[in-house]
Amino acid sequence: MRTMISIFAMSLVVGAATVPVRAATATTAPSDTTVAAAEAIGKPLGDLSLPRATLVEALVTLRQRSGVRLTVNWDALKAVGVTPASAVAVAGRGLTLAQALDLTLTRVQGAAGPLCWYVHGRDIHVTSRAARMRIRQAGSFQPVQPGPSASAPASRPAEPGVQFQFDATPMTEVAAFFREQTGLNVIVAWKALEAIGVTDQTPVTLRIDRPIPVAQALDLFVQSLAPTAPPTAQVFWDVEGNILTITSGEALNRELITQAFDVSDLLAITPDFAGPRLTIQRQTASEGGGSAASSESSFTSGSAEPTPTGTGDLADERARREQQLIDAVRGAIGEQYWQPAGRGSIVIIRGKLVVSQTRLGFKLLARSLGRR
């Protein structure tokens, strides 16, 4: 059953976050005339009308209108079916740069996954949501170029992990360290943390001499703050979009999320059919020394009807597997987080496992399976 729940968790923990090491910047240095992205994202661009454009044409237009350099991870976009020639239709009045980017990336035709943008240094980076949340970027960032060459950026080695030494370092400085390493917007829910005794001056002592993935470093960091406390009084991290949030288990235990997962393959039962019955007829010697003839076939086959366990008991066996899967998920999170003591519920409907649980519950499930 452990194997079954582990396979299920690969799809269940889709909200379990991974964090990228800071992405490589564009290969060309910004010019003196480049406008800093942080200063420009809230400024109006005016009206925008691109009824029939390619993605690269739309991005070049935004770059020219704003003065901000845009860099695009074309490898990541290609992985979700997007190329420089992908069609996009954008129109709006009084848009800011941020609104224009949001509108453009949501209007790309043929995208198999969400696209996103974020500010890093003076540049705005465009990539896929999956690549943004990946621990190690697979492709390099390149400046937007209006031509075929933009679709084939030079590759680079994967980014290394992080190493550090915190010696009674205030937590606010540790948060700043992870902001710099990930390039994400880091939000620390100080009020939620203060409720469990963690403040911006709480000292952190942790040493990592060799590079490790950022997600693992974050795990070690938050677990060092309240290692023996119950889950609601522990510290957790979570990534959603371009935001890394550090908060308490109690805060994560407030919002109820419902997700459905296809587990029909885990519950499938193959009927146990009986194989053919083979009978060998032995020939006996006749008085004249020859072989006695037999009018019967040497081999006979039996019925291939299913055994009783393959018919009448199939429904019972399926019900047993469903309950086994439900019990495994409940146990991995903890019975206190399910109704009636908690808020969570779980049921299987037509091969779909429907789970209603808090973010804390999903975090505990990921932790029990050694995943993030």
Angstrom CA distances, 84 to 52, 79, 145, 320, stand at 14, 13, 9, 51
User: Taking a C-beta distance cutoff of 8 angstroms, is the pair 215, 157 a contact?
Assistant: no
Mean per-residue pLDDT over the chain, rounded:
75
Domain spans in the chain, listed from the N-terminal domain onward: 23-151, 162-252
State the pLDDT at residue 204. Answer: 92
Which of 93, 57, 4, 20 minimizes the C-alpha distance to 242?
20
- Looking up tokens 């980076």 gives 125
Residue 103 — pLDDT band, cuts 50, 70, 90? Answer: confident
pLDDT in tens, 85-95: 899 988 888 88
- What's the rounded mean pLDDT across residues 307-327? 74
State the pLDDT at residue 191. Answer: 93
- What's the rounded mean pLDDT across residues 146-161? 41
Instruction: Name the 3-class secondary structure at 163.
Output: strand
Lowest mean pLDDT: which of 142-151, 209-218, 222-231, 299-308? 142-151
Instruction: Name the 3-class secondary structure at 305.
Output: coil
State the pLDDT at residue 75. Answer: 86
Domain 162-252 = CATH 3.40.50.150: no
* One-letter identity of residue 131: A
Lowest mean pLDDT: which of 105-119, 144-158, 326-340? 144-158
Q: Is the pLDDT of residue 37 over 70?
A: yes
Residues 6+ apart with CB under 8 A from 350: none
Q: Of 177 and 160, which is predicted with more confidence?
A: 177
Q: Of 134 and 308, which is predicted with more confidence?
A: 134
Lowest mean pLDDT: which of 35-39, 95-99, 135-139? 135-139
- What's the rounded mean pLDDT across residues 266-273? 68
- What's the rounded mean pLDDT across residues 257-277? 72
Range ranked top by mean pLDDT from 27-36, 50-59, 136-145, 196-205: 196-205
State the pLDDT at residue 29. Answer: 34
Lowest mean pLDDT: which of 97-106, 124-133, 148-157? 148-157
- What's the rounded mean pLDDT across residues 334-339? 91
State the pLDDT at residue 31. Answer: 39
Residue 107 — pLDDT band, cuts 50, 70, 90? Answer: confident
Q: Of 172 and 132, which is predicted with more confidence?
A: 172
131 DSSP assignment: H
- What does the CA dihedral 177, 180, 185, 186 come to, rounded to 10 degrees? 0
User: Taking a C-beta distance cutoff of 8 angstroms, is the pair 77, 97 a contact?
Assistant: no
| CA-only gyration radius of the chain, Å | 30
pLDDT in tens, 113-143: 788 888 777 788 888 877 776 533 333 333 3
- Give the orientation angle of helix 359-368 with respect to helix 2-12, to 10 degrees: 130
Residue 323 has phi, psi (to 5 degrees) of -65, -35
Tokens of 354: 């429907």
Q: Is the pLDDT of residue 76 over 90?
A: no
- What's the rounded mean pLDDT across residues 224-231? 89
Angstrom CA distances, 194 to 10, 235, 248, 333, 358, stand at 34, 11, 9, 25, 21
Question: What is the CB-side half-sphere exposure of residue 1 using CA atoms within 13 A?
Answer: 12
Which of 198, 36, 185, 213 minimizes the C-alpha distance to 118?
185
State the pLDDT at residue 148. Answer: 39
Percent of the chain exceeding pLDDT 70 equals 71
State the pLDDT at residue 236. Answer: 93
Residues 6+ apart with CB under 8 A from 315: none
Q: Is the pLDDT of residue 26 over 50?
A: no
- What's the rounded mean pLDDT across residues 70-87? 88
Q: Is the pLDDT of residue 41 over 60?
A: yes
User: Taking a C-beta distance cutoff of 8 angstroms, is the pair 49, 91 a contact?
Assistant: yes
Which region holds residue 110: left if phi is over 0, alpha if psi is between -120 and 50, else beta?
left
Q: Of 285 and 162, which is predicted with more confidence?
A: 162
Q: Of 287 and 234, which is predicted with more confidence?
A: 234
